Amino acid sequence: MSDTTLSSPPLDLRAAEADRARRAGEKYVPWVLLAPTTIILTLVGFYPLVYSLYISTTAYKPTQATRYQGFVGIDNYAAGIVDGQFLHALGLTALFTLASVGISLVLAIAMSMLFSQQRPGFVLLRTIILIPMLITPIAVGIVWRTMMMPDLGVLNYLLQAVSLPPLLWTGSYETALASMILVDVWQWTPFMFIIIFAGVKALPTSPFEAAAIDGAGPMRTFFSVTLPMLKPVIVIATLLRLIDAMRTFDTIHLMTRGGPNFATDVVSVYLQRVNFRFFDLGYGAALSWMTLIVILVTVLIFVKLTGFMKLVALKEDR
């Protein structure tokens, strides 16, 4: 027997070493595969973010001969704090968001409870209900703007058919914002419905059986059993819808342009006007950052009040 044979490690030991080397190399494979996408997304997303923060500290107006009129520091932010139109837009956005998300949440819970029952035709109806959220906001705006026309719109025709007076809908200061809320609720209630409905279908049956044995009625069971168990799902659906509603733009801009008389001039519409009609990009960037901060603070308050992180931690422990 040669010395080479005697000094070589056993076969199973060499296989174990090769397996360890292979495993050590495999742990880097996901990072290598994700690296190109991560780098591109970082450059595409991070650079505009930093650049917008920079121009928010300048008097940048690209339509003027001297585009950069110097560093102004926090002057743009200070001007935004006392900008009455911006504050008005923030108030309208808060009102629009609370009304739209609140109404959508109530309707979504009600429809989830209704369609969780096994009834003929409910499967088809559930499918039809989901259609509005699949339509692009531009198409929704065009359709609803036509339906809300004072003279030729189908909505006023239906009102007159039941002996009710016609409305100006988006043409009146008193009804314009309510009309936008109606459109938003129509389009995005299905989004909350599909999330909450999935939560309802996933609920265990034993608590309901126990409630029935104790003699609890439908309303008592709903408020004491169903809602507490649905809280994590409701919080997630509301949080997602809250963030989306605060940045609504397409439908409102297409239907009203923020009018009449700034009745629907939410933050996104006002920012579009400042940035792309007045081309005051320095001030517009500052307002955009202020809006982002307001949204982040709102989300953090919502997370704190609803105990969202505790729900996530409890879910992970399970």
Q: Is the pLDDT of residue 112 over 70?
A: yes
Taking the domains of the chain in order of start, what are their residue ranges? 3-55, 75-317
The arithmetic mean of pLDDT across residues 5-17, rounded, is 58
What's the confidence (pLDDT) of residue 286? 96
pLDDT, tens digit, for every residue of 132-150?
999 999 999 999 999 999 8
Of residues 11 and 299, more confidently modeled:
299
Give dist(CA 114, CA 111) in Å, integer. Answer: 5
Q: Is the pLDDT of residue 14 over 70?
A: no
The secondary structure element, H or E, covering residue 94 is helix 84-115
Rg (CA), the chain: 28
How much is the pTM?
0.84
What's the confidence (pLDDT) of residue 295? 93
Give dist(CA 141, CA 255) in Å, integer. Answer: 6
Q: Is the pLDDT of residue 6 over 50?
A: no
| Highest mean pLDDT, choosing among 31-35, 144-148, 203-207, 212-216 | 144-148
Give dist(CA 15, CA 174) in Å, integer. Answer: 79
Fold topology of 75-317: MetI-like fold (1.10.3720)
What's the confidence (pLDDT) of residue 70? 82
* Confidence band, pLDDT 50/70/90 cuts, at residue 34: confident
Give dist(CA 165, CA 175) in Å, integer. Answer: 14
The arithmetic mean of pLDDT across residues 206-219, rounded, is 88
What's the confidence (pLDDT) of residue 19? 64
What value does the mean pLDDT of the chain take?
87
What's the confidence (pLDDT) of residue 267? 96
Of residues 179 and 6, more confidently modeled:
179
The arithmetic mean of pLDDT across residues 112-118, rounded, is 89
Q: Is the pLDDT of residue 16 over 70?
A: no
Q: Using DSSP, how many helices (H) and how many strands (E) does the chain show?
A: 17, 2
Q: Is the pLDDT of residue 11 over 80?
A: no
| Highest mean pLDDT, choosing among 43-47, 207-211, 308-312 | 207-211
What's the confidence (pLDDT) of residue 82? 95
Which amino acid, one-letter code, is at 7? Answer: S
Give dist(CA 251, CA 2) in Å, integer. Answer: 84
For the ranges 9-13, 114-118, 131-135, 311-315, the lowest mean pLDDT is seen at 9-13
* Confidence band, pLDDT 50/70/90 cuts, at residue 209: confident
The secondary structure element, H or E, covering residue 247 is none
Q: Is 219 exposed, middle or buried (0-12, 13-18, 19+ CB in 10 A)?
A: exposed
pLDDT, tens digit, for every residue of 48-105?
888 999 999 998 888 776 666 788 889 999 999 999 999 999 999 999 999 999 999 9
pLDDT, tens digit, for every residue of 162-207?
999 999 999 999 999 999 999 999 999 999 999 999 999 999 889 8
